[in-house]
A and B are shown apart, each in its own frame.
Chain A
Amino acid sequence: MQGIPGGGTHPGLYPVDRRMLLIFSFILAVAFGQMNFTGDQVLRVLARDEKQLSLLRDLEGLKPQKVLLDEEREAMAKSRRLERSTSSFSYSAYHNLEEIYSWTDNFVMEHSDIVSKIQIGNSFENRPILVLKFSTGGPRHPAIWIDTGIHAREWITHATGIWTANKIVSDYGKDPILTDILKAMDIFIELVTNPDGFAFTHSMNRLWRKNKSIRPGTFCIGVDLNRNWKSGFGGNGSNSKPCSETYHGPFPQSEPEVAAIVKFITAHGNFKALISIHSYSQMLMYPYGRSLEPVSNQRELYSLAKDAVKALFEVHRTEYIFGSISTTLYVASGITVDWAYDSGIKYAFSFELRDTGHYGFLLPATQIIPTAQETWMAIRTVMEHTLTHPY
């Protein structure tokens, strides 16, 4: 207890100065604010004439008492949960991991007829790795895989993935092409392929790319998840130095985030298309990344990419270039789409979304929906082709 300025004491009384009084009053006010309304009621009163109305107005003038029934409180709590439903989620803003995972739960709940959530593993820092499954039922439908966010800083990709998921459920039953696709095939979307890295871009380093794995012998953290696949692993366009942004890791699939996908897709055994979404550069590409060697169905993929890019262009006149990864972007080894192709997935594509360098990774949120809208048309083109060319 502080001493009082001015000295003097009264025997038997505890001296209190003005500041202490204020603090005590505040505490009391807070304590009394937490009132118990058990057993109270809400009544609706209808005025029949002017006299009754006037009486009600007088009552209104009195200090209002919040009176709640148990059920009322229950309803309020419920509405608070619904406020966090997908209808209040902003698709034109960037979200953090908790918000995305929360949206995922709401989304699955609201569209449980065709959407379910699967946990395919855990990240290095033990976060759940989640995949959304869109299915109209039927055993072992051929499937399409879409992943976003394999590189943490590419925020536009997660945002596009979320919008796309919502687009699928919105257009199912309305868009005949999508409806046909979903009747025959399942779609899997992994929104946050690199949850640890993504969390890190929110907390510490907006431009982080890799995952957050640590290993003895180096201070540097993380492996480039798009160099860790078992296809030309360790070749040109990947780096053996742990501090490098394209560090491929100690061996193929060393990273849990990659291993989880490999395990899932392999066990499923019936994936027919894989689309891996990145940013930025405005490109649509097919294998190989590891070499200039063309894939056996290069002509078909070229033609399909051309159609997809055209469909994309027609939305907002955004120009994409297309071709194989090695000739369009650069040589890169151990990448997702090379692995997918080598595993028998004939239609393996990699997107680099907007823009071409003006904002780069820091694409303004105002561009999320236009980007997602145009990208959807390209994805839909690829899915349609996969549907009409079964193998």
Chain B
Amino acid sequence: MQPRRPPLPAPGSRPWGPRPAAPLIALLLLLSPVVAAAESESPQDPGQPQDAGLQRRLLQQAARAALHFFNFRAASPSALRVLAQVQNGRAWINPKEGCKVDVVFSTERYNPEEGEGHLGKCSARVFFKNQKPRPAINVTCTRFIEKKKRQQEDYLLYKQMKQLQNPLEIDSIPDNHGHIDASLRPIWDLAFLGSSYVMWEMTTQFSRYYLAQLTSVRQWKTNDDTIDFDYTVLLHELSTQEIIPCRIHLVWYPGKPLKVKYHCQELQTPEEASGTEEGSAVAPTELSNF
């Protein structure tokens, strides 16, 4: 079976041969690919392979996983964050167990408003377990949206959702030309929030997920005031380039933890990923400040 991930280089080996002499290390560092704006520093850990590109990728993977988890935990569709820049970090790779990554990164708002240039900062410890989903994550982020403002925006979004026509007749969001109608934006944001849970669970040190498109959505009537929402998303996994359809069911109320159930279809393997998170079972506040 074709391995779905690039193999880790054997310990001690480097692309340019055996461990180079000290004067050449400087040259090597100069030759390493760099991020255009900020360089990710990774201190050399003797005995571990330190290809700069792999290091950078690992730090990015960790930052992304941490952000998916953070977004899910925050349960705030108007305060979603995306990765801006990995600033620094280090990774420890244990071929038997997995890898542990400490990473510091900056974030920006998923839906930046005009003139808004806020960059929040996060630090995270991520542990990717070999062959297992659900990386363990400890993440804290600085606040960049005032709590009151966030609550107001969440409530506004909530009201917009409640006012939507039921049943919703939507082809896909965005449409094939990348356009999202302003009236449908709340649906997309909520879908992204729910997908964050799924993407967190599925992210490994090698696989990286993005929300490509929302292909169907159904809002259920509820006895209480929660938003009860059933939808299908297409996730794009970068290393295999696969498109993975997932059915997601979420229940949300502003300020309350998010409840998510999902079922994804992995076309290549017989395994299918599914999971449930009863948000109320997990205390949301201790791990994040916002």
Contact = CB atoms under 8 A, between A and B. Distances in A.
Interface of A: 93-94, 201-202, 206-207, 209, 224, 236-241, 243-246, 281, 292-294, 298-299, 302, 309-310, 313, 319-324, 326-328, 330-331, 356-365, 367
A245 B133 CA distance: 22
B33 A322 contact: yes
Interface of B: 2-3, 6-7, 9, 15-16, 31-37, 51-54, 82-83, 110, 172, 174-179, 210-213, 234, 236, 238-243, 267-268
Given A236-B7, A327-B51, A364-B177, A207 B240 contact: no
Given A206-B213, A236-B3, 11 more contacts: A206-B176, A207-B234, A241-B268, A244-B268, A246-B240, A299-B31, A302-B31, A322-B36, A326-B53, A361-B212, A362-B178
Contact of B51 (A292, A356, A364, A365): A292
Contacts of B35: 319, 321
Given A207-B212, A292-B9, A363-B178, A327 B33 contact: yes
A362 B240 contact: no
Contact of A330 (B174, B178, B239): B239
Given A245-B240, A302-B31, A358-B110, A330 B53 contact: no
Q: Which 10 residue pairs spanning A and B have beta carbons closest together?
A: A323-B33, A327-B53, A364-B178, A331-B6, A245-B241, A362-B178, A357-B210, A292-B15, A206-B176, A319-B36
A207 B179 contact: no
A178 B233 CA distance: 44
A303 to B, nearest CB: 10
A239 B237 CA distance: 15
A128 B179 CA distance: 31
A320 B110 CA distance: 19
Contact of B236 (A310, A313, A361): A361
A293 B213 contact: no
Nearest to B15: A292
Given A207-B243, A358-B110, A294 B36 contact: no
A362 B176 contact: yes
B241 A246 contact: yes
A362 B172 CA distance: 11
30 contacts: A94-B177, A201-B176, A202-B176, A206-B172, A207-B212, A207-B234, A207-B236, A236-B3, A236-B6, A237-B6, A240-B2, A241-B268, A243-B267, A292-B15, A294-B16, A302-B31, A309-B36, A310-B36, A313-B36, A321-B34, A326-B6, A326-B53, A357-B82, A358-B82, A358-B110, A361-B212, A362-B175, A362-B178, A363-B178, A364-B179
Nearest to B55: A327
A360 B33 contact: no
A286 to B, nearest CB: 10
B241 A293 contact: no
A241 B2 CA distance: 8
A374 B247 CA distance: 38
A360 B212 contact: yes
B268 A243 contact: yes
